Amino acid sequence: MKRPEAGAFAAFVITYLFFALATQGTGFISVNGTAGWLNLAAELGIVAIPVGLLMISGEFDLSIGSTVGASSMILALGTNQYGLPIWPMVFLALAAGATIGLANGLAVVKTKLPSFIVTLATNFIVIGATMGISRLVANVTSSSIVASDSAKFVFAARWGQANISILWWLLVAFIGYRILSRSIFGNWIYATGGNLDAARGAGVPVQQVKISLFIATGLAAALVGILQGVQWNSGNATYGMGFVFQAPIVVVIGGVLLTGGYGSVTGIVLGTALFGVISSGIFYTGWNTDWIQLFLGLLLAAAVLANNYVRRLALSSK
């Protein structure tokens, strides 16, 4: 019970069983049904992992939403408007994501302002710039994407109902796990969020830790923009806006402390999976999908309370 992901694991099992029973005979637990909720979770999961690591280090990133949109528009304008091949545009989109992350990181570290407000500003700046520039060069804010077969395979392959984004999610989760739980850098992430002064005192380059994680978040958001763009054959400045709050929500449901210093990648993955199960499960029950928000809100409230409790439990003597 003392592990950060304990609450998310219990919530996931209970919710899954609930929907499995409530939707009997509708195929929710079938292979296709499973692929359905995994698809819903995958893209959110890709951004949620760096967002979670960043939260463990003590910072927020609310600019992910507009970065997703900007990345998809880079593909669209590049391939459609200028007729450029897609792969260089993919790298340009990733570079743009990394640059947005770097700007966030530098702004937060240098100004010492709360990242919540800094990245909220970035979110508006980026979406505004994306729309403005798109209008200027092509007079659109959404446009189709011309993808090569290789790009279509890498970013939009489908097996039955399952999208390749699920594999990307697994890959990002694996990398995130290796970094957070196993690497030396991971130790620094925990220390930076757990006690900034102590971490600095021990020689941890806390500023570099934060900036690196902001860059990772920007990269992940750009990757999701590419995945969505190629999958739906179009770019749109407003893609990804849903992630702005969904990502921190699933991270907290996954057991990461809002105040930093505590959490796990396993927890974040479970929190995201829970989101997928609820979003897809409600659809299978035939209820109005408006209920998803209510469920998420309740889960978030419960998670915040549970996290505090788990934290106290972890700090009590054995």
Q: Which stretch binds another protein (CB under 8 A): 84-92, 144-152, 185-193, 290-298?
A: 185-193
| Closer to another protein by Cβ: residue 43 or 59 | 59
Contacts of 156 (CB under 8 A, 6+ apart): 147, 163, 164, 227, 230, 231
Q: Tell me if 27 contacts another protein by CB under 8 A.
A: no
CB of 316 vs another protein, minimal distance in Å:
7
Q: Which stretch binds another protein (CB under 8 A): 8-16, 59-67, 164-172, 191-199?
A: 191-199
Among residues 27, 114, 201, 297, the one that binds another protein under rule CB under 8 A = 201
Q: Tell me if 158 contacts another protein by CB under 8 A.
A: no
Q: Tell me if 195 contacts another protein by CB under 8 A.
A: yes
Q: Is 255 helix (H, G, I), strand (E, B) or coil?
A: coil
CB of 314 vs another protein, minimal distance in Å:
6
Q: Is 144 helix (H, G, I), strand (E, B) or coil?
A: strand
Q: How far apart are CA 219 and CA 106, in angstroms?
A: 16
State the number of binding residues for another protein (CB under 8 A): 27
Q: Tell me if 316 contacts another protein by CB under 8 A.
A: yes
Q: How far apart are CA 90 and CA 290, in angstroms?
A: 35
**Rg of the chain taking only CA atoms, in angstroms:** 20
| Closer to another protein by Cβ: residue 13 or 313 | 313
Among residues 3, 170, 194, 232, the one that binds another protein under rule CB under 8 A = 194
Among residues 80, 99, 161, 187, the one that binds another protein under rule CB under 8 A = 187
CB of 112 vs another protein, minimal distance in Å:
18
Among residues 136, 203, 286, 290, the one that binds another protein under rule CB under 8 A = 203
Give the phi and the psi of residue 142 in degrees, each rounded to 5: -145, 150
DSSP state of 203: T
Q: Which 225-284 positions form the footprint of another protein (CB under 8 A)?
A: 257, 261-262
Q: How far apart are CA 183 and CA 231, in angstroms?
A: 34
* Structure token pair of residue 245: 């709050």
Q: How far apart are CA 271 and CA 269, in angstroms?
A: 5
Q: How far apart are CA 210 and CA 139, in angstroms?
A: 37
Q: Which stretch binds another protein (CB under 8 A): 22-30, 198-206, 217-225, 272-280?
A: 198-206
DSSP state of 263: -
* Residues facing 235 on adjacent strands: 143
Closest CA to 310 of 247, 256, 246, 251: 256
CB of 218 vs another protein, minimal distance in Å:
21
Q: How far apart are CA 291 and CA 301, in angstroms?
A: 16
Q: Tell me if 308 contacts another protein by CB under 8 A.
A: no
What would the x/- binding string for another protein be over residues 112 to 141, using CB under 8 A?
------------------------------
Token match 């419960």: residue? 302
* Residues facing 234 on adjacent strands: 144
Among residues 197, 286, 288, 290, the one that binds another protein under rule CB under 8 A = 197
User: Which residues of the shown chain bind another protein in the complex (CB under 8 A)?
Assistant: 178, 182-184, 186-188, 190-191, 194-195, 197-199, 201-204, 257, 261-262, 311, 314-318
